[in-house]
Structure 1
Amino acid sequence: MSVVNIWGSLSPVARAAYPTPQEPDDEWTLRGGTAWVYYSPLNRRQLVKPVILADGFSLGASDLGELWAGLENNGKYRFISELHAIGRDVIVLGYDNRAASILDNADTAIECIQTANRNRVDNKAKLVVGGFSMGGMVTRYALAKMQHDQDLPDPETSLYLSYDTPHRGAWLPISMQAFAHFLKDKWGATSPIFGQFSDLINSPAARQMARWHLGKVGDKPDQASERRAFLQQLDAVGGWPQGIRKIGVANGVRTGIGNGIGPALTAVSGRGDLLLDGTLRTQAQGEQVVAILHAAEQPPIEVSTDGLPDIDGAPGGLFPENPVLPGNPASFGMAAILMGLLGSEVDLQLNTSCFIPAISAVATGEIDNRDALYSEIRDRDSELDAFACASKNEGHTTMTQDLGAWLVNEIESHS
């Protein structure tokens, strides 16, 4: 058993649920990654109007077959086929290490953009460039850097898109972060599976994206130094690509109505011979004990927070599905799985929570502002030129008919 894809790139599900992915028409080997090229049937195996779609965050190398399947065979909307139907060639971009620094993977995106520009036969048709989840941050920085750095060529891009991207930061429950580090400290030496979640949380990309990060049990949750440095780097290249239309979608609603998860609830608990007590709670405002962690023959640990919003129930994209047990999202559901592997009797009350608040995905407000989290989103507040939100709070990066068709229409109309 391997727990490797717990933050997700594009609605991860059991690979068995998808047929074998279509072989690409071309493959580009890049420094730090790989791109698969799918030519539109209208373009006779030539790169005419490329759309670059970058992968998101997880552990290890990108699985471009999984990315293709999530776009094309998701059972809701055939995104690649719809792009092909309007004459767009699709390039899916992956990385050798999805948890590496966003800055490093942006260099891979830059090489992909340069390669696309060298190979396209129509110099008048500029690129469309964007990505899913972290992929939207990778390509946002890549485009801005290309415009800012005089040693780099112009990206020759007319449209930037993001799909449930954490422009204002991502949320992972502090109780979950503490439990992950606790697992590694106590049982990481017995099996790598008990250290993977902690390692992922402490990876460069996770530190850059998480609005509140916990490096180890006992730390105070706050922005990691890597996030502060990344935001400074982003500001240094202008924050956003300039003169390029910027669009995005959120898997959360714009109405301000949350997902129904209340604050200070016991989401999951486990008790057994090794784990005497593992209690994880949803986030509340004010001072709160969010987790109780008690291993055999050691005193219990209480993990407290103060001053955070009740964000688990906020409107936004929910944690993606867990590939180990399809149907169990990788938040509190992941904790339940890991507690079970320790032989604990588990009581799972809530298996998911908000991951990318809607206001983060459409860049309208700071997610540490409780009022902004639960307020209706206004068009004029967004840093994007146009955006669309889901009709319900759904799984992070879920490709749906509404969001996919909106993007295809924008691509056809404005690029």
Structure 2
Amino acid sequence: MSNTVVDIWGPASPQARSSFPPAPDAHDEWPLEGGTAWVYHSPLNRRQLIRPVILSDGFSGGSTNLDQLWHGLEENGNYRFISELHATGHDVIILGYHDRTASITANADTAIECIRRAVHERVGNAKLAVGGFSMGGLITRYALAKMENDPGLPDHETATYLSYDTPHQGAWFPVSLQAFTHYATDKWGDVPTLGPVLRQLSGLLNSPAAKEMARWHIGKVDAEPEQAPERLAFLHKLDELGGWPRNVRKIGVANGVRTGTGNGAEAGATAVRCDGETLQDTWLKIQAKGDQIVARLQTAGDEATMVRTSGLPDIDGAPGGLFTMQSPAGDTGSFGLAALLMSLIGNVVDPDVITTSCFIPAISAVASGDINDPQALYRPIAAGDGALDAFHCAGRNEGHTTMTEELGAWIVNEIVAAG
């Protein structure tokens, strides 16, 4: 089971982990308009804020869970990211939000408030490092760019911007999975036991944040996959700010490989299929190029609903950070989540489910290509590609925002090198 920093499905998952070991008491806690910042001073700094590093939470349901974030950052079994930053004399500020499904621009205002507070509280003149995990990297990217462009805002006094498996070029929610979630919600959303879970999942996929992140979105089962108006509006606002903060060194890491090697999910293969009390010959497929039927959805006694796509790339199998869902069954990810829902509504799922798939393509995380381009998805990423000043890709395709020594230590070294 992965201990990721960001739990994509969060409390909406029917097998969500209900509790985590408590995080240590913060040395300071800043109430913010749209969230909370928890300050953990380096032991080397005698409880003074001297070298601040702001780490933003990312996309999930509900409000930030500090215990869960701490667990992913520090108690993940791979790399104690906070301790390593502390050992270099850097203070860590964990930035959380009241609503992680809110629009990126709304949570960016909370990030700006946090940055201003850090600059005000800082002792000395050391520049900040600011960034985030998953969507948190987009939030802070927008926040820093806005601070550079808005004459009413102060200097962000930041030297390094960092992102960790952030969907700079968009995220991928399988169209078949979106369709099945909305379909199941339409059919069983009012059932007392499972209904609330289905409504939460459908609501999560239709939230402002999901619409802004997703490269292809459908709001209901029969909708055409496309960029949501909310995403187009966000990209326009970001473009008006220059796209990126200019007065910082921009670094990022990907939980996917740079070699172009995919995760093994074969385009066109059946990812999950079930039959039973409520569903008949219902299946979801791995996304393939061209004109495709990616899902067949049928309730007992009804006509089948066929979900079609046209012109999409074979992105489920692309190199990149994988969907994860922390559960007793392991990482049930994307199609594994569908399998779980199918069984919960009274059906038998065929064995050999392809449980997970690409969520953040590597070229999106390092901002080196368009995820709508099937060739770019599988092309090796060369040094110097893209908008980041420096980046590092994982040695294997692993769970989205999995903290590893390979990626974590690279970021720590980059922050230290910036001074």
TM-score (norm 1): 0.95
- Secondary structure of the residue aligned to 1:255 is coil
Distance 1:13 1:178 in 2: 22
Give the secondary structure class of the aligned counterpart of 2:384.
helix
C-alpha spacing 1:245/1:6, structure 2 compared with 1 (3 Å)? closer
> How far is the alpha carbon of 1:330 from its aligned partner?
2.5
Q: C-alpha distance in 2, partners of 1:73/1:195? A: 32
Contact map agreement 1:64 1:93 (CA 8 A) in 2: no
In the alignment, does 2:359 pair up with 1:358? no
1:135 is aligned to: 136
- Aligned position for 1:177: 178
2:88 maps to 86
Does the 8 A contact of 2:339 with 2:353 survive in 1?
no
Query: What's the CA shift for 1:15?
Result: 6.0
Match of 2:3 in 1: none
1:361-394 deviation digits (Å, cap 9, x = unpaired) = 0000000101100001012222000000000000
Distance 2:121 2:262 in 1: 45
- Partner residue in 1 for 2:126: 125
Moved more, 305-314 or 129-138: 305-314
| Cα contact 1:7–1:319 (8 A) shared by 2 | no
2:294 pairs with 1:290:
yes
Cα deviations across residues 254-278 of structure 1 (Å, max 9, x unaligned)?
0011111110111111211112232
Distance 1:202 1:221, change over 3 A: same
Quote the residue 1:340 is aligned against. Answer: 343
Equivalent pair of 1:254/1:376 in contact (CA under 8 Å) = yes
Aligned to 2:236: 232
Whether 1:221 and 2:222 are equivalent positions in the alignment is no
Once the two structures are TM-superposed, the CA of residue 147 in structure 1 deviates from its matched residue by 0.7
Matched, 1:206 2:210: yes
Q: Is the 8 A contact 1:251 1:316 kept in 2?
A: yes
Q: RMSD of the TM alignment (CA)?
A: 1.6
Residue 370 of structure 1 aligns with which residue? Answer: 374
Alignment-derived partner of residue 189 in structure 2: 188
- The runs of 5 or more residues in structure 2 that have no matched partner are 1-5
- TM superposition shift of 1:31: 0.4
Distance 1:7 1:130 in 2: 22
Q: CA deviation at 1:84?
A: 0.2
User: Are the equivalent residues in 2 in contact too, given 1:328–1:334 (CA < 8 A)?
Assistant: no
> Could you tell me how far apart the structure 2 residues matched to 1:326 and 1:361 are?
28
When normalised by structure 2's length, the TM-score is 0.95
- Cα 1:5–1:401, aligned 2, differ >3 Å: closer, same or farther? closer
Q: What is the rounded CA distance, in whole Å, between the counterparts of 1:7 and 1:50 in structure 2?
A: 30
Three-state SS of the structure 2 residue aligned to 1:110 is helix
Distance 1:76 1:314 in 2: 25
User: For this pair of structures, how many residues does the alignment match?
Assistant: 407
Deviations 1:261-302 (A, max 9, x none): 110111111211112232010000111110000012321100
Q: Which residue of 1 aligns with 2:22?
A: 20
Task: Give the aligned partner of residue 379 of structure 1.
Answer: 383
Per-residue CA deviations over 1:150-183 (Å, capped at 9, x if unaligned) read 1111111110000000000001111000001101
Please give the alpha-carbon distance, in whole angstroms, between the structure 1 residues aligned to 2:304 and 2:16: 35
Letter of the 2:83 counterpart: S
Cα pair 2:129 2:162 within 8 Å, conserved: yes
| C-alpha contact (below 8 Å) 2:8/2:59 kept by paired residues | no
Structure 1 distance, partners of 2:273, 2:318, is 22
* Aligned-pair identity (%): 61
Does residue 388 of structure 1 match 2:392?
Answer: yes
Change in CA separation of 1:247 and 1:398 when aligned onto 2, cut-off 3 Å: same
CA contact 1:15–1:66 (8 Å) conserved in 2: no
Contact 1:168 1:366 in 2 (8 A): yes
User: Secondary structure in 2 aligned to 1:276?
Assistant: coil
After the TM superposition, which segments of 4 or more aligned residues of structure 1 sit over 4 Å from their partners?
Answer: none
